[in-house]
Structure 1
Amino acid sequence: MKITIDIDCTPEEARHFLGLPDVKPMQDAMMQEIQDRMQASLLAMDPETMMKTWLPAGIQGMEQLQKMFWSQMAAAMGQDGRK
């Protein structure tokens, strides 16, 4: 036997019915704190420092990828020339 019950209610109504706390005010406060901290750290950094912090790994990774492609292409062309 299978019984299906459909309940049509909002998340707030379900939370209240189950006795769960409303954490929205806490989430709003935490998000505001995170936003304030991020803005303060971004304002403290000048653009040059920010670029040095964020890009070196990306640029280095792109250079390594490019070197790998060139070495693979050179190896493929060297093998074709030998045959």
Structure 2
Amino acid sequence: MKITVNVDCTPEEARAFLGLPDVQPLQSAVMQQMQDRVMSSLNAMDPETLLKTWAPLGLQNLEQIQKFFFSQFPGAGGASDKKK
């Protein structure tokens, strides 16, 4: 035996019927705070600030990475020149 019950109501009516709290004011407040944070962080999106954040040591990091990378290849001028 199969019984189907269709209930036609809005989400607000279903929440009230089931005794669930209305979270709309809380959701609105949280969304407003998120929007404020996103808008305030847009100032930090200019290229100079991003570069300073991503590469705090500037080109020194790049030079260290290059030295490490080239030292891993024999005959690349790094390790093999020292042996000769």
TMscore range, shorter length? 0.5 to 0.7
Distance 2:45 2:13 in 1: 48
Task: Provide the TM-score with structure 2 as the length reference.
Answer: 0.55
SS of aligned partner of 2:7: coil
Gaps of 5+ in 1: 55-83
Gaps of 5+ in 2: 55-84
Task: Provide the TM-score with structure 1 as the length reference.
Answer: 0.55
Aligned-CA RMSD value: 2.0
Distance 2:45 2:14 in 1: 48
Q: Percent sequence identity over matched residues?
A: 58
Partner of 1:8: 8
Indicate the structure (1 or 2) with the bigger Cα radius of gyration: 2
Distance 2:17 2:49 in 1: 49
- Following superposition, the deviation at residue 51 of structure 1 comes to 5.8
- Following superposition, the deviation at residue 34 of structure 1 comes to 0.6
SS of aligned partner of 1:21: coil
Count of residues in correspondence between the two structures: 53
Runs of 4+ in 1 over 3 A off after TM superposition: 49-54
